């Protein structure tokens, strides 16, 4: 496997074969015949456990796992790294090009996984690579010990050709490695940018999950309403100041927002709303009030630049509604 290849892949948690939230990523770096992998998981919800880590390939309906090592979970996070021979991963006789993904089984129902093809990941179809079974298959291949001289000469010629090809491949690999050294600093900068981008996406995904969980808790406590007559897709709940303490980071600071507290003490509630979108759900926090120009300026200063009136009227002035902001914008 000559050449240099680097790629990142997202890792998701699966529960009973159902794909859930993104919990981390892996970086695979292949240089010539050798490679290394780094795995970083966060906020998994598991701690004080140790799990095996596998590359997996597919054979008929089965997922065959080649064990890379084990990773330990501490306070919901886990990190792992190892080097491997791309032509013979962990002495399995499997080639890196045969691998279809990454799997970290926690138990019979829960796993962390990432796939590089479009096929389904099913826990029941996963089997760990068994060296004994692999040996049995190899022993079934017939091998002739006594061969005619002509065949032997042909074999000798082929061996010479193979050796020449291997030497040529080594020279190519050597040249590629030299070029890689010259571009290492640029690659490192690109990797840093990629990792920073992935971490931003992970934080965004984590925050989205936290806001969804926050909404579900509130929806169990309070009646859901349609706060805006003009848009019946938006749902909301009227919440109290105490509910702001449970807001995910970094939104807990809103509990000390002067404009928000002023609106709450006037109307005895705040609004937390859910805005459905095709690609991603949006969330809003709203402060009740009446639309007036001086109030608009004050609301914008304190971080609530938008206003929607409760009733669908052509004029906003003197209409009751909510000064609001979209979370995470």
Buried b or exposed e, range 110-145, using 16+ CB within 10 angstroms: bbbbbbeeeeebebeebeebeeeeeeeeeeeeeeee
Q: Is the pLDDT of residue 105 over 60?
A: yes
Q: Is the pLDDT of residue 150 over 90?
A: no
What residues have CB less than 8 Å from 84, skipping those under 6 apart? 34, 35, 36, 37, 68, 90, 96
Question: How far is it between the farthest Cα atoms of the chain?
Answer: 103
Where is pLDDT greater, at 127 or 200? Answer: 127
pLDDT value of residue 190:
58
For residue 296, cis peptide bond before it (omega within 30 degrees of 0): no
Asked if 112 and 14 count as a contact pair (C-beta separation under 8 A), the reply is: yes
Confidence of residue 58 (pLDDT cuts 50, 70, 90): very high
Least confident of 44-58, 183-197, 230-244: 183-197
Least confident of 114-118, 161-165, 320-324: 161-165
pLDDT value of residue 147:
43
pLDDT value of residue 306:
93
- The residue extents of the domains of the chain are 1-135, 220-326
Q: Which DSSP helix (H) or strand (E) runs through 324? A: strand 320-326
pLDDT value of residue 9:
84
Confidence of residue 314 (pLDDT cuts 50, 70, 90): confident
Q: Is the pLDDT of residue 182 over 60?
A: no
Q: What is the spatial order of strands in the sheet that 320-326 belongs to?
A: 224-225, 235-239, 270-275, 282-290, 320-326, 306-309
What residues have CB less than 8 Å from 222, skipping those under 6 apart? 237, 238, 239
What pTM, to 2 d.p., does this model score? 0.47
Tokens of 120: 């389904």
Tokens of 178: 């030299």
Q: Is the pLDDT of residue 225 over 80?
A: yes
Q: Alpha-carbon distance 178 to 188, whole Å? A: 16
Buried b or exposed e, range 289-311, using 16+ CB within 10 angstroms: bebeeeebebbeebebeebbbee
pLDDT over 90, % of the chain:
32
Confidence of residue 4 (pLDDT cuts 50, 70, 90): low
pLDDT value of residue 30:
87
How much is the average pLDDT of 288-301?
90
Q: Is the pLDDT of residue 141 over 70?
A: no
Say which DSSP state 327 is in. Answer: T
Task: For 164-176, write each residue's pLDDT tens digit.
Answer: 555 455 545 555 5
3-class SS string, 218-259: HHHHCCEECCCCCCCCCEEEEECHHHHHHCCCCCHHHHHCHH
Q: Is the pLDDT of residue 177 over 60?
A: no
Q: Is the pLDDT of residue 201 over 70?
A: no
Q: Alpha-carbon distance 164 to 172, whole Å? A: 12
Tokens of 255: 């509990």
Tokens of 230: 């003009």
CATH fold label, 1-135: Immunoglobulin-like (2.60.40)
Say which DSSP state 276 is in. Answer: -
Q: Alpha-carbon distance 230 to 226, whole Å? A: 9
Q: Is the pLDDT of residue 183 over 60?
A: no
pLDDT value of residue 140:
42
Q: Is the pLDDT of residue 216 over 70?
A: yes
pLDDT value of residue 212:
87
pLDDT value of residue 185:
47
Where is pLDDT greater, at 9 or 199? Answer: 9
Q: Is the pLDDT of residue 323 over 80?
A: yes
How much is the average pLDDT of 259-276?
92
Where is pLDDT greater, at 73 or 173? Answer: 73
């Amino acid at each position: 496997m000559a050449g240099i290849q680097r790629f990142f892949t997202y890792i998701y948690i699966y529960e009973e074969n159902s794909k859930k939230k993104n919990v981390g990523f892996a970086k695979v770096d292949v240089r010539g015949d050798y490679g290394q992998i780094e795995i970083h998981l966060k906020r998994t919800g598991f701690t004080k456990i140790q799990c095996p880590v596998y590359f997996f390939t597919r054979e008929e309906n089965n997922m065959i796992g080649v064990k890379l090592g084990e990773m330990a979970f501490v306070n919901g996070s886990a990190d792992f790294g190892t080097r491997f021979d791309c032509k013979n991963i962990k002495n399995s006789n499997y080639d890196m090009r045969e691998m279809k993904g990454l799997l970290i089984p926690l138990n019979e129902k829960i796993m962390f996984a990432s796939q590089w093809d479009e096929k389904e990941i099913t826990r029941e179809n996963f089997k760990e690579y068994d060296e004994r079974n692999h040996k049995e298959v190899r022993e079934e291949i017939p091998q002739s010990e006594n061969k005619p001289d002509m065949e032997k000469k042909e074999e000798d010629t082929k061996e010479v050709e193979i050796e020449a090809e291997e030497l040529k491949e080594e020279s190519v690999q050597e040249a590629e490695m030299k070029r890689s050294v010259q571009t290492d600093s640029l690659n490192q900068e690109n990797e840093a940018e990629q990792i920073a981008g992935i971490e931003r996406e992970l934080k965004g995904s984590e925050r989205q999950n936290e806001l969804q969980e926050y909404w579900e808790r509130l929806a169990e406590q309070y009646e859901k309403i349609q706060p805006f007559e003009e848009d019946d897709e938006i749902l909301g709940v009227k919440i109290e100041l105490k509910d702001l303490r449970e807001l995910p980071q970094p939104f807990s600071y809103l509990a000390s927002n002067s404009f928000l507290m002023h609106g709450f003490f006037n109307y005895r509630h705040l609004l937390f709303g859910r805005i459905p979108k095709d690609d991603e759900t949006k969330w809003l926090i709203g402060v009740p009030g009446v639309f007036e120009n001086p109030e608009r300026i004050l609301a914008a200063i304190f971080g609530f630049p938008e206003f929607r009136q409760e009733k669908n009227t052509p004029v906003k002035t003197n209409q009751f509604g909510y000064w609001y902001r979209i979370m995470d914008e």
